[in-house]
Amino acid sequence: MALRNILFITVLFILVLLALFVGFQHRRTIAQTDREKIDTFRGEYQALIEGYRVVSDTLFENVIAEQTEIAEIMHRAVNANSSEEKEALRDRLFTLLGPFYSNLRQYNFRQLHFHLDDLTSFARFHRPEKWGDDLTGIRATVEEVKRTGQAVRGFEEGRIFNGYRHVFPVSYDGAYVGSVEISISMKAIIESLTELYDRPVQFLLSTEVMQSKVFDSEQQQYTFWDLSDRYVLDPECTDMVLSADKLTESEKRKILSYLNPQLNEPLSLHSGRLENLIFLPVKNIEGRPVAVLITRMDDHTYRAGLMSYILTLVLIVFLILLIIYLAFRTQRSHDRLDRMATYDGLTGSFSRTGFLKKVDDDLKRFHRYANAISLIYFDLDHFKQINDTHGHSAGDCVLRVFSTVVQSRLRETDYFGRVGGDEFIAALPGTDRTGAEELACMIQKGLKSTRMCDIGTIHCSIGVGEARKNYTSVEDFVAAIDQAMYQSKRGGRNRITVLP
């Protein structure tokens, strides 16, 4: 039995370990797939950004830096004494670079913006009427170019538009007179991602950044994201990859936990619709996340892996349940066999094996603690004649009636067993031979008052005795009481013999 239980437990343990291993491998595979998809999206995005950077550098070097008149205009604007003079210089700059800006727009560049050395806006080609505003604390790229004298590139929200800005220093006779930016809007980047890679992209901008930088008159064009007012939707970027009505409440809470306060690292999320959502943080030149790009990628790998994982788990669970069922059935069979070995099926009393085991335990307690125990041995008189005359079914009925009469007169601590075809023994722990003899007499009287139709009164020969020190085994004890019972048989039957 112990070996069988160990085997069942070992098999269950192996199956549980297998389930854990399958789960670990599934999560590992999904994590690897997610990393690959994140790297794919990030690579596509960075490839576009790098391409626009190269183009911007080329345009600045070959167009703006080559025209010395541009630097001269900036120099004169810095030293202008009146707004009228600056206005005239601006008009000259618009005339000079108007065709160039028109060509820029055809290649998705949105902004051509000149700034003077005092960090004020000088000429916005995308919004000519807005100029002269102080960009201090608003445009970190412009401040960095002035501080270092080097070109600065990166994402930045501006007074009107957001996007990737390439800001270059402008010098006149070796002296810094301002800067110029050539910028690509997020709308252009998203459109390029969609066109080149068939990749739907949603752009979310930090509400805090928008409110702190965008002109008040422009802020009304932004709308809050339906999932959280911590982000706003750019009026030019209207693609909706992720909206609240597509998500469960659990998915909403999970996404918000990632985006609150700001997403710092890219992540992948699988929705209940088996969609793979990729979140890519957009950081400014200071390395602070200020926006998020969201895309939806093909999730067939996850779907196939999930199905394989579920089927494997179902198989393992089935095997576990099968093992448990077999263990249960085996235990029930064992219990049934154990009960058959311990109890007599006809009378419900202990079988010979079960009875002798209990007597052996009580005899050992007698030898250790001197706790008295007595036995009453019964043998039904003329039982073979009953079987021969009335049939075995009548004989079985006699045995059941006899057992009922005896057991009804025993205490809870006493026990009763069938040790032969028509032989029974009652064990009386804590009772000496005198008490056992009294109980045997009570049982004998009970049998005399019990009559069975066609059979009459049940008679039996009885032997009584208590444990002695010279009984070294249960066999010795039972054999001694058996001899007392045979004395009753030889003495005329239906009588009681008590060992002295």
Q: What is the pLDDT of residues 124-177, one digit of tens each?
A: 998 899 999 999 988 999 999 999 999 999 998 888 778 899 999 999 999 999
CATH number at residue 84: 3.30.450.20
The predicted structure's pLDDT at residue 335: 64
Assigned domain for 334 exists: no
Same domain, residue pair 210 and 266 = yes
| Collapsed DSSP state (helix, strand, coil) of residue 301 | helix
Count of CB atoms situated within 10 Å of the CB of 230: 16
Q: What is the pLDDT of residues 29-79, one digit of tens each?
A: 888 888 888 898 899 999 989 999 999 999 999 999 999 999 999 999 999
The predicted structure's pLDDT at residue 301: 67
Identify which of 124, 78, 135, 68 has the alpha carbon closest to the alpha carbon of residue 101: 124
The predicted structure's pLDDT at residue 264: 83
* pLDDT of 91 over the 90 cut: yes
* pLDDT of 403 over the 90 cut: yes
CATH number at residue 425: 3.30.70.270
Q: Is 137 left (phi over 0), alpha (psi -120 to 50) or beta?
A: left
Q: What is the pLDDT of residues 413-471, one digit of tens each?
A: 999 999 999 999 999 999 999 999 999 999 999 999 888 877 888 999 999 999 999 99
Range of the domain at 379: 352-498
DSSP 62: I
Count of structural domains within the chain = 4
Assigned domain for 53 exists: no
Range of lowest pLDDT (114-123, 208-217, 330-339):
330-339
Same domain, residue pair 176 and 286 = no
Same domain, residue pair 179 and 207 = no
Q: What is the pLDDT of residues 238-285, one digit of tens each?
A: 777 777 777 788 888 888 888 876 788 888 887 766 578 889 999 988
Same domain, residue pair 263 and 311 = no
* pLDDT of 1 over the 60 cut: no
Same domain, residue pair 366 and 494 = yes
Answer whether the bond into residue 261 is a cis peptide, omega within 30°.
Answer: yes
Same domain, residue pair 272 and 312 = no
The predicted structure's pLDDT at residue 483: 95
